[in-house]
Structure 1
Amino acid sequence: MEKQKNRSRKATKIVAGEWEMLFEDDVEEFVGYNRLECEVKIAKYRKVTIQDKDLYHLVFNLTPFYPEGGGQIGDIGQISNSSENIQIIDTKKENNLIIHISEELPKNISNDFTARVDSEHRNSSSRNHSATHLLHHVLREELGNHVEQKGSLVSPDHLRFDFTHFSKLSEDEIRNIERKVNGMISKNISLEEYNNIPISEAKKMGAMMLFGEKYADAVRVIKFEDSLELCGGTHVSSTEEIDAFKIVSEGSISAGIRRIEAITGDKHKKHTKEMENTLNTIKSLIKNIDPIQGIKDLIQENKSLSKKLEKYKSKELVILQKDILLKREEISGIGVISEEVDLDSEGMKSLSFNLRKSENNLVMLLASESNNKVILTLMITDDLIQDKNMDASTLIKDLSTEIKGSGGGQSFFATAGGSDASGIDKSLNKLKEIFR
């Protein structure tokens, strides 16, 4: 346990060096709402080691990079000049500082750089963030005002939204939510953005605020028609840029909390294409232009075949039952059957339970092997349990050692699994030896 704790500490060990100041700059201005590129200087930096990997935290005098916050992941991109190009792999916020994370430190740290945000990464995140606002608005409209946001994730690939609701969403509810969100997208609603307004004014506007969240005196409000929320994230200039919205999953994450995951834009197009390919494959496999009816027909055919198979198995089991009773040996006054059979675990169980009802004074060990996996079942009739105090669960543990396995169960029936098929004969013979 102590070794595990030490490994865990080592795996999560973070060592942050002291900040190296290049020049004093009290305010790091964020200009990324309107610009994805600007000229910057590095004000300070530090080296950070995480799991023996060195990273560098860079702070600029101003930045177009959006730091992780409000559920939205941080921007990526690069800073460059005529002599070097440094990749920014993430952007975080710490003590009101926007920190740009890089795997290398610029050679000429004091030079001027052009900071460029990865536009595809940012625009995809913005689409998903705006779609999250539309989803929140539609959920309250469709399900009721009891819906409250309990968490979110906005990334370039997808969005995730956690909210309060008392039951699983029906397929009709999910389709209606999708339809209404897509309706707002197709209306091409323009973004209305209110920066640095008093929080009292935001409340008067009816802006959505997260319960328990602490807000500054001056806030930013994002508005798409009737959707109003306090938000510091990045957004599309109009809903048409979202392109399309699709819910890919809905489920419970805890009591009274549901989670929706959804996609937009290019991810939606890719998802739609994959679904079309899947549908075409199904049509081809079932050779029916109507895949739904084709699948229904297959299900019905499968049910019919399953019934026929069960009847066949029942007949075979009756024949096998007669045959296996011929293998019965009397050892020290006790009937013993110890045989390898060509049955699956359910067949072995059915055979054992049938003989338990019809026979007395019988101990039966069955063994079966498939793909180098061994199954043992042991049945003891009730009279032997009562009169001889026998216990199948105890016996099976001893027998299973021969197949390098383990097992357990009840006094009248127990099972074991193992990996050594060469031990089957040993376990079958061992049962006989126990009673000799």
Structure 2
Amino acid sequence: MYTGNELRDMFRKYFEERGHKILPSASLIPKDDPTLLLTVAGMVPFKPYFQRRVEPPFPRATTAQKCVRTPDLEEVGKTARHHTYFEMLGNFSFGDYFKNEAIPWAWEYITQVLKIPAEKLWVTIYPEDAEAKSIWVEKAGVKPERIVGDPENFWAAGPTGPCGPCSEIYIDLGETRGCGKPGCSVGCDCDRFLEIWNLVFMQYNRDEAGVLTPLPKQNIDTGMGLERIASVMQGVETNFDTDLFRPIIDFVAGLAGIAYKENPKSDLALKVVADHTRAVSFMLADGIRPNNEGRGYVLRRILRRAVRYAKLLGIDKPFLESVFRIIQRDYAHAYPELKENENFIVNHLNLEEKNFQATLEQGTQMLQEKVKGLLEQGGTVLAGTDAFYLYETYGFPVELTEEMLEEHGLAVDMPSFQAAAEEHRQRAKEQSQQMRAVSESPALVQKVKQLGITPFVGYDKISSMANIEGLFVAGEERQDAGEGEEVTIFLSETPFYAESGGQVADGGVLRTSRAEARVLDVKKGVTGTLYHRAQIVTGVLHVGETVEAVADQTNRLATTRHHSATHLLQAALRSVLGEHVQQAGSLVTPERLRFDFTHFSPLTPDDLRAVEGLINEAVLKNMPVEATEMSLDEAKQSGATALFGEKYGETVRVVKMGTFSKELCGGTHVQSTGEIGMVKILSEGGIGAGLRRIEAVAGLETLAYLRSLDEQVSEVAQLLKAQPADIGKRVGGLVAQVKDLERELSHLQAKLSKNEAEGLLSRVAEVEGIPVLAAQVQASDMEGLRQMADLLRSKLPTGVLVLGAVSEGKVNFVTAVSPTGLSGLHAGQIIKEVAKITGGGGGGRPDMAQAGGKDPSKVGEAIDRVPAILRGFLQK
């Protein structure tokens, strides 16, 4: 029996022996692909090669690719093979070989390497793909009667673009795994026939009219799920029973004090927890951070689902870190990022789990209120919309809601729950369909393919002579463009830095003897081609002519100082706070720098002083700044810091600043740290769970900032009629004086409130024999209103109190019932009706409640209606 790890290695080795380059799995964050949130298939990292937006650096490759898919999230654990995270084994050809090689290799691997008997295998083809059928029979040796046509066997990247027929290999797992129906065969929904490999033959390009044109270079894209083939080779019923999952499941079962395969309900929860913690671990390892948008939202949703299902198992204490350790132990040899990014993963797991537990407690309280209301009203069924609200807002799986309701003999209206869930899914689907990548004109795409990488000469100089190799206006290629037009310009080389790595693009000018254009922006395409967006100021620019390209030197130098300061900042943060600090984003402009990083608590003033001190010490040492190109492996071995979550090419640029900092970076930098000038941290704060942000200035911008501070200090000193050195002392005295005045004011207000309260007691009236005081009073805020209510309650031990006040356009109400439960009256219910008259609402305890309103003009009417409201409750 082969382990999952052995099967992964065997597959890649088999294709390496057949000329394929073994590549590490790409990140779960798709690179340069705005159409995808996550890497969902093995071919995703190679889309630029298949579409020939980038010329492939090698003709064939093989990978074990990390993938995450969530459209069928609700099915995880219910079926044998649905997962959020899975590994896709694949071999790929970029115009090198095609069906004649791919088909026999697939059959040979399945039957001779894995030794699966041919009589258990079936092959499906696209009915019109006679070529594939012939190869399966003649070259692979498959019997014709075991080849089945399937009209759905046609793959496409989208409505237009590369596409082609595909062919699948199925294994017959035996009648005992089937549905027993007479027509049970390949394609049946039961578990008997399992697809284990899909071969996609990209041989056409489909245009907008749906016309298929043969591709000049045909591609192969195959995929075999590691979890699926492991279940086959290990002879188990589901993917969850393989060694890829069982250690996780058994560990979680141990935490819950239960056994796997004893209870279908707990088995479902165990599978969900195992699957989801695996997905979350790998997503965090690739630098995805939990948040409320995009892939961060997907991560948070999966993580919370794991916690919710663990709760169903009776696991109430934090557990995610301990489960992660099992995943790390079993997978880190193949995916070292699980070890390299351990601190980041563990910190986020613990923080998210802690925060979500608090949310779950809120949801539990809300459910308990719903239960209480149902019992009081004699109901037996919770509305499906309420159950879905608990699910969507507080993360309660409906199973958990059902379990808590069962304790009270109640149930959930499941049809309406499912309707609410379906409505939500449809809305999400519509929003998803609205996501579209910004498409370029076909002419522009073709030009980019033709030009390839644009040489960047800006590391060494600020200007250069270059030829105009392409001009585009509104996506249309032109031979010339004139004054006033905004154009996209391609140059033979450029000194302009393209926006990348957080550093903004250079501005500047393009000049000929008769024309000038202002460069507005520079972008880098996936091919390495640089796009110059420019406005022609005077004259006409022509394709083929030579221009002087001049970047704005002042802005470039200021940007460079801030970029170099960012490197010193990261090194200083890691020195002061610890090696767990990772860059999580940056912005480098001529005016300032912004640096986002991973850390789980605010920096103290001492921390900030230490960081700022280390940076400026490094500046004063005037250390040389050296940039060297080397292989990625050499860079890692040298200790260079890489941007977390970023995938680099085989050759990288390492920027070293003395012994203080060493990072992978493609940006522009000073030649020695002394050129940076003084660095001043302006602010530090949190921007999300486990994320902090520092903003700082360097060089002349620091001088400008300090001058501004000096001017402000001088202005304050003049107002205080004090010397600048004495303003701290003078302000301290003023603050003490203000506090004394505030205490005196508070004392006077309390005295006034007491006098007003004593005057109000003469207005107590009776409603059905109950003393009632309802009045509009003066109170600056809700706290003042509550204090007055407390004072009146001490004077009115039996009765109902309703006070209303208006302050700064805001309406506030307080209601009290003494003693609690007097004549069945409930303060929260009373105030709800009173506040409703002013367009507001509220609630609270039976003895005391508060509310707000929207219409101050109706406060008097609300107070006048109190007796009628009370009679309504008393008559019930």
Amino acid at match of 2:771: G
Contact 1:27–1:61 (Cα < 8 Å) also in 2: no
C-alpha displacement at 1:162, in angstroms? 3.2
Q: Is the 8 A contact 1:250 1:261 kept in 2?
A: yes
Structure 2: runs of 5 or more not aligned:
1-423, 476-484, 872-876
Return the letter of the residue paired with 1:185: V
Q: Does 1:356 align with 2:793?
A: yes
Call closer, same or farther: CA 1:412–1:12 in 2, change over 3 Å.
farther
Match of 1:19, SS state, is helix
Q: 1:244 maps to which residue?
A: 678
Q: Which residue of 1 aligns with 2:348?
A: none
Counterpart code for 1:393: G
Could you say if the C-alpha distance between residues 388 and 225 of structure 1 is closer, same or farther in structure 2, counting changes exceeding 3 Å?
Answer: same
Q: Does structure 1 retain, via aligned residues, the 8 Å contact 2:821–2:847?
A: no
Superposed CA offset, 1:284-326 (max 9, x none): 4444442222232233333333333333333333322211101
Which residue number corresponds to residue 315 of structure 1? 751
Instruction: Give the residue type in structure 2 aligned to 1:353.
Output: D
* SS of structure 1 residue aligned to 2:849: strand
Asked if residue 98 in structure 1 is aligned to residue 524 in structure 2, the reply is no
The one-letter code matched in structure 1 to 2:649 is A
Q: Which residue of 2 aligns with 1:17?
A: 441
What is the CA distance between 1:402 and its match in structure 2?
A: 3.6
What is the alpha-carbon distance in structure 1 between the residues aligned to residue 787 and residue 455 of structure 2? 75
Q: Choose from 495, 499, 503 the match for 1:68.
A: 499
- Whether the 8 Å CA contact 1:33–1:234 is kept in 2: the answer is yes
Distance 2:550 2:511 in 1: 8
Mapped partners of 1:306, 1:115: distance in 2: 65
In the alignment, is the contact (CA less than 8 A) between 1:360 and 1:381 conserved in 2?
Answer: no
The one-character-per-residue Cα deviations of 1:27-66 (angstroms, maximum 9, x if unpaired) are 42111112222222332355668xxxx9754322111111
Other-structure match for 2:508: 77
**Residue of structure 1 in register with 2:470 after alignment:** 44
**In the alignment, which of 173, 180, 202 is matched to residue 614 of structure 2?**
180
User: Does residue 1:231 correspond to 2:655, yes or no?
Assistant: no
Please state which structure has a larger fraction of its residues in strand.
Answer: 1
> Are the equivalent residues in 2 in contact too, given 1:129–1:235 (CA < 8 A)?
yes
Question: Mapping of 1:161-180 within 5 angstroms?
Answer: 161-165=595-599, 167-180=601-614
1:395 matches 2:830:
yes
SS of residue matched to 2:774: strand
- Partner of 2:506, secondary structure, is coil
Structure 1 pair 22–170 and aligned structure 2 pair: CA distance change class (3 A): closer
- 1:178 alignment partner AA: E
- The answer to whether the 8 Å contact 2:800/2:815 transfers is yes
- Say which SS state the counterpart of residue 503 (structure 2) adopts: coil
- Which residues of 2 match residues 73-222 of structure 1 at below 5 A? 73-95=504-526, 96-102=528-534, 108-110=541-543, 111-165=545-599, 167-194=601-628, 196-199=629-632, 202=635, 205-210=638-643, 213-222=646-655
What letter matches 1:90 in structure 2?
Answer: D
TM-score normalized with structure 2 length: 0.45
Tell me the alpha carbon deviations over residues 86-130 of structure 1, each in whole angstroms, 9 at most, x when there is no partner: 333222211221222346799544143332222233222111111
Task: Confirm or deny: 8 A CA contact 2:471 2:489 kept in the other structure.
Answer: yes
Aligned to 1:333: 769
1:81–1:396 Cα change, 3 Å: farther
Q: Whose helix fraction is larger, Structure 1's or Structure 2's?
A: 2
The normalised TM-score by structure 1 is: 0.85
Q: Tell me how large the CA RMSD over aligned residues is.
A: 3.4
User: Which ranges of structure 1 fall in alignment gaps of 5 or more residues?
Assistant: none
1:214-257 CA-to-partner distances (Å, cap 9, x unmatched) read 44343323222212323211011232322210111223445554
CA–CA separation in structure 2 for the residues paired with 1:8 and 1:400:
41
Deviates more, 1:169-178 or 1:357-366: 357-366
Deviation at 1:347, TM superposition (A): 2.0
Query: Are residues 315 and 71 of structure 1, via their aligned partners in 2, closer, same or farther at CA, if it must alter by over 3 Å?
Result: same
CA separation in 2, counterparts of 1:374 and 1:147?
A: 46
* Whole-Å separation in 2 of the counterparts to 1:298 and 1:11: 56
CA displacement, residues 257-279 of structure 1 (integer Å, 9 cap, x when unaligned)? 44322111232222212222332
Cα distance in 2 for residues equivalent to 1:314 and 1:246: 47
Aligned to 2:653, the other structure's residue is in SS state strand
SS of the residue aligned with 2:811?
A: strand
Helix, strand or coil at the partner of 2:607: helix
Cα–Cα, structure 1 residues 388 and 56, in superposed 2: closer, same or farther, change >3 Å? farther
Name which of 827, 841, 858 aligns with 1:423. 858
Higher relative contact order (CA 8 A, sep 6+): 1
Residue 80 to residue 393, structure 1, CA distance change in 2 (3 Å):
farther
Alpha-carbon distance in 1 for matches of 2:845, 2:823: 16
Residue 343 (structure 1) aligned with residue 806 (structure 2): no
Contact in 2 for aligned 1:365/1:376 (Cα 8 Å): no
Residue identity matched to 2:832:
K
Alpha-carbon contact 2:471-2:487 (below 8 Å) kept: yes
Q: 1:401–1:104: structure 2 CA closer, same or farther, 3 Å change rule? A: farther
2:557 alignment partner, SS class: helix
Give the letter aligned to residue 533 of structure 2: I
1:41 partner letter = N
SS of 1:388's partner is: helix
1:238-277 mapped onto 2 (5 Å cutoff): 238-254=672-688, 256-277=690-711
SS at match of 2:821: helix
CA distance in 2, matches of 1:201, 1:332: 89
Summarize the Cα distance change of 1:166–1:360 in structure 2 as closer, same or farther, 3 Å threshold: closer
Change (3 A) 1:397 1:124: same
Mapped to 2, the partners of 1:413 and 1:144 lie a distance apart of: 50
- Matched to 1:39, the amino acid is M
Instruction: Judge which range, 268-277 or 409-418, deviates more.
Output: 409-418
Q: Which moved more, 1:223-232 or 1:136-145?
A: 136-145
Percent identity over the alignment?
33
Residue 328 (structure 1) shift: 1.3
Asked if the contact 1:18/1:46 (under 8 Å) is kept, the reply is no
- 1:296 partner amino acid: G
Matched residue count: 429
Structure 1 residues 269 and 10 mapped into 2: Cα distance closer, same or farther (>3 Å)? farther
In 2, distance between residues paired with 1:339 and 1:205? Answer: 77
Q: 1:412 to 1:280 in 2, by over 3 A?
A: farther
Cα 1:256–1:322 change in 2 (3 A) is: closer
CA change 1:413–1:285 in 2 (3 A) is farther
Give distance in 2, aligned partners of 1:34 and 1:87.
22
